[in-house]
Amino acid sequence: MKRIVLAYSGGLDTSVAIPWLAEQYGAEIVAVTLDLGQGKELSDVRERALAVGAVRAHVVDVREEFARDFILPALQAGAIYEERYPLATALGRPLIARKLVEIAAIEGATAIAHGCTGKGNDQVRLDVSARAMQPDIEVIAPAREWGMSRPEEIEYARARGIPVPATVDSPYSTDANLWGRSIECGVLEDPWAEPPDDIYTLTRSPAACPDLPAYVEIEFEAGVPVAVNGVAMPLVELIGSLETIAGAHGVGRVDMVENRLVGIKSREIYEAPAAVVLHAAHRELEGFVIARDLERLKRDLGRTYADLVYNGLWFSPTRDAIDAFVAKVQERVTGTVRLKLFKGVCQVVGRTSPFALYDHGLATYDAGDLFDHRAAVGFIKIWGLPIETMTRKAARMSNAEC
């Protein structure tokens, strides 16, 4: 009998997908639910999958793997899509694909399935990632095929005794993991409409934030954040604690219109308090310890890296190669960054590193200045020579015309 491994969230779509796949493909369905730090109670998800017809249901905590193998490389690369989106959802997809393919091999399944629709980026990320690892695997996306409207889907569920959660009335489509949360649909589809405050769950409205700022010191060792305010923590906990502090000060909200891979512009709301703070800190420290040309090159590659992640090309030689470059740069990214969090704003207010290229003697305007002011004269002469030459030439030509 055909066996399909389904990425099961516990929500309505993937609950309906279990009997739908079983009926359409005459298959056994194995449900897989991953804990990526979405913060949802997963205790009864196994029972739910079995109740709607899965033959087996696995629940796997992959938070550490997610942080180490996906979030950290993206942080170090400075991967922020279109200058705003720290890529939480996009980074989760290749890991989900990896787990589905691994479990399919263990289960002897020839196909995997997921709940994505045919309109977004997530289907691309899951399908391409799965086939990058196992080119022969069949990838099925029921919601892309079944052609049911929302009411029809609810009817389908009721007819089969699938419990329809009360939250199905929520007009929003959300996705969450350790690195942040994305919110789409409903009133948010009007790019002119301000998002209602109740869509946010990780961040406090700036108006309701404390009147005193919080200071956070993040310590990095070779590009890895290792401690917050002097307390050493493993990465998963560190991200969690920054989420709490930054969220309480309203930091991490993003409202943007982004370019989807499938050619659509879409209005997206993100809350990513930990990601916003960590990217700000990491970027600051890196810039403090590497030279200008390398810093520029690194930023350009960060944009390329973000595009790769966004566009579903995580498992690609291009990303491997950029990772090697980024790893080389991280060797010097050791030190501490001090940030001020206040009513929705995150500001770097201090940085220190044993590798700092900042030299007080060169930078100061006070006594102790070591910069050779006289050397500037010759430098400027040669630097401006091409411009000066053009002006002289233009003057000669217009004189000749008279």
Which residues are tagged catalytic? 13, 93, 122, 173
Per CB under 6 A, 243 contacts ligand ARG: no
Name beta bridge partners: 346.
341
CA 183 to CA 195: how far, in whole Å?
A: 10
Least Å distance, CB 333 to ligand ARG, is 26
* 88 vs 236, beta carbon nearer ligand ARG: 88
- Crossing angle of helices 273-289 and 235-248, in 10° steps, is 110
Residues 6+ apart with CB under 8 A from 292: none
Q: Rule CB under 6 A: choose which of 28, 153, 268, 286 binds ligand ARG.
A: 268
* 121 vs 353, beta carbon nearer ligand ARG: 121
Least Å distance, CB 275 to ligand ARG, is 13
List alpha helices for 52-87, DSSP H.
63-66, 72-77
Least Å distance, CB 77 to ligand ARG, is 16
- Given the rule CB under 6 A, which of 16-24, 174-182, 210-218, 319-327 is the region that contacts ligand ARG? 174-182
Per CB under 6 A, 121 contacts ligand ARG: yes
> Is residue 114 within 8 Å of residue 298, measured between CB atoms?
no
Q: How many residues bind ligand ARG (CB under 6 A)?
A: 10
Per CB under 6 A, 175 contacts ligand ARG: yes
Per CB under 6 A, 271 contacts ligand ARG: no
- Max distance between CA atoms of the chain, in angstroms, equals 94
Per CB under 6 A, 90 contacts ligand ARG: yes
- Given the rule CB under 6 A, which of 55-63, 70-78, 169-177, 237-245 is the region that contacts ligand ARG? 169-177
- Given the rule CB under 6 A, which of 173-181, 271-279, 331-339, 394-402 is the region that contacts ligand ARG? 173-181
* 129 vs 334, beta carbon nearer ligand ARG: 129
Residue the block writes with tokens 């050619």 = 263
Binding mask 128-167 for ligand ARG (x = CB under 6 A): ----------------------------------------
The burial class, CB within 10 Å (0-12 / 13-18 / 19+), for 85 is buried
Per CB under 6 A, 75 contacts ligand ARG: no
Name beta bridge partners: 224.
221
Per CB under 6 A, 122 contacts ligand ARG: yes
Residue 229 phi/psi, 5-degree rounding, is: 45, 45
- Crossing angle of helices 88-107 and 292-310, in 10° steps, is 50
CA 173 to CA 167: how far, in whole Å?
A: 11
Q: Locate 383 and state its tokens.
A: 């630097």
Q: Rule CB under 6 A: choose which of 14, 15, 89, 203 binds ligand ARG.
A: 89
Per CB under 6 A, 219 contacts ligand ARG: no
Per CB under 6 A, 15 contacts ligand ARG: no
* 22 vs 96, beta carbon nearer ligand ARG: 96
Per CB under 6 A, 13 contacts ligand ARG: no
Residue 230's identity, in one-letter code, is G
Closest CA to 98 of 55, 45, 53, 60: 60
| Helix or strand (DSSP H, E) at 105 | helix 88-107
* 268 vs 286, beta carbon nearer ligand ARG: 268
* 22 vs 124, beta carbon nearer ligand ARG: 124
Please spell the DSSP secondary structure of 233-284, one letter per residue: --HHHHHHHHHHHHHHTTTTEEEEEEE-TTS-EEEEEEE-HHHHHHHHHHHH
- Residues forming contacts to ligand ARG in the complex (CB under 6 A) are 89-90, 121-122, 173-175, 182, 184, 268
